[in-house]
């Protein structure tokens, strides 16, 4: 299984995020990707390559042009104010406020184009997030060209990013960008399986009214868990996408056995959809020791996830998402990938 990785991810290293009323060191840090890379190499999964040059047009197939322009210029606008620390939003267009007129000032833009304050923008953010998207696109190209599987070691992650908003450590939606690339290059139908602890709200919203991309997500119940405002079981898609969206919200304390039971249901839905190719948003923050999550999965459970995904018998692209127990993230990712490869 080829792994695609860019060292440019290190250019994005936020100093702090707002978490439960406090500014705390960012849970999403460069060491995450480095740990995963080390364990992938140790597992002998295959070659590790740099991504292809970015095709910016592929970003615009998923994200709004004004949002991309904001991400590209935000740091320069922030610096023009004389600021030296990270740029963080502090005001949002919540219910009752206008959402149709983007502000001209960078403080307003940061809130307009975000859903929370876990998305610091630094001097290297644009280069890091575009290299992350390039990893996903390169993996998707490998799948189109016939590879049975590939692993895009994306950092920063992407599944909370919507067409026009960043949030939850995510800026560009790597899985959605990859899925759209697959559709644009021969796949009639694509399924996205999101196994991250947190609901992939951005991915769901991007494809919610489309019937050609099926989205299934297993995650902490939004009644008590981030992102709170999406991910309920009754969200089944709309318009042409009605029936092509399936959420499995699970309670705090979910065990490996209960998680795998829900996974079987999600995989059955995907099999019924009969996709040509599959994208897996691979978060391992379902791990029992993850600092910001509440499921109870362990190493053997992750290997079983990989084996069961392999049972779909489809060409599959894994795209890295969350996982914040840094010392264990690499082992957990390697368990999934080796489970898949050995099935």
Nearest to 316 by CA among 172, 142, 174: 142
Calpha distance 105→74 (Å, rounded): 10
| Pairing, β 190-194 against β 17-19 | unpaired
Could you give the count of Cα atoms lying within 13 Å of 234 in the half-sphere of its Cβ?
A: 2
Residues pairing with 317 in the sheet: 150, 279
Q: Which of 160, 198, 219, 294 is catalytic?
A: 160
H/E stretch holding 128 reads helix 125-144
SS3 call for 315: strand
Q: Are 36 and 140 in contact (CB under 8 A)?
A: no
Q: Which residues contact 11 (CB under 8 A, 6 or more apart)?
A: 122, 123, 124, 125, 127, 128
Q: How many CB atoms lie within 10 A of CB 328?
A: 19
Question: What is the CB neighbour count within 10 angstroms for residue 90?
Answer: 10
Query: Does the annotation mark 219 as catalytic?
Result: no
- CB-side neighbour CA atoms (13 Å) of 221: 7
The encoded tokens of residue 23 equal: 């500014």
Residues annotated as catalytic are: 160
């Amino acid at each position: 299984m080829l792994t695609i990785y860019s060292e440019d991810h290190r250019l994005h290293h936020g100093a702090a995020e707002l978490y439960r009323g406090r500014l705390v060191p960012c849970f999403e840090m460069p060491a995450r990707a480095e740990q995963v890379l080390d364990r992938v190499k140790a597992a002998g999964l295959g070659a590790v390559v740099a991504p292809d040059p970015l095709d910016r047009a592929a970003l615009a197939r998923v994200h709004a042009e004004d949002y991309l322009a904001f991400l590209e210029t935000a740091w320069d606008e922030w610096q023009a104010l004389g600021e030296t620390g990270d740029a963080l939003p502090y005001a949002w267009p919540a219910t009752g406020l206008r959402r149709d007129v983007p502000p001209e000032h960078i403080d307003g833009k940061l809130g307009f184009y975000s859903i929370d304050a876990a998305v610091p923008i630094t001097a290297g953010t644009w280069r890091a997030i575009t290299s992350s998207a390039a990893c996903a696109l390169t993996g998707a190209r490998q799948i189109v060209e016939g590879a049975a599987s590939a692993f895009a070691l994306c950092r920063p992650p992407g599944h909370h990013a919507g067409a026009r908003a960043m949030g939850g450590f995510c800026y560009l939606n790597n899985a959605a960008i990859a899925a759209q690339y697959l559709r644009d290059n021969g796949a009639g139908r694509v399924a996205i399986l999101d196994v991250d602890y947190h609901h992939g709200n951005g991915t769901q919203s991007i494809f919610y009214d489309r019937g050609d991309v099926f989205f299934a997500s297993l995650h902490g119940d939004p009644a008590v868990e981030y992102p709170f405002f999406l991910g309920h079981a009754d969200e089944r898609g709309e318009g042409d996408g009605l029936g092509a969206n399936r959420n499995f919200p699970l309670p705090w304390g979910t065990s490996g056995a209960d998680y795998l039971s829900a996974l079987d249901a999600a995989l059955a839905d995907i099999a019924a959809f009969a996709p040509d190719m599959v994208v897996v948003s691979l978060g391992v923050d379902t791990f029992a020791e993850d600092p910001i999550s509440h499921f109870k999965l362990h190493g053997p459970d992750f290997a079983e996830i990989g084996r069961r995904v392999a049972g779909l018998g489809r060409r599959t692209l894994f795209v890295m998402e969350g996982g914040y127990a840094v010392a264990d993230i690499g082992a957990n990712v390697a368990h999934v990938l080796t489970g898949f490869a050995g099935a």
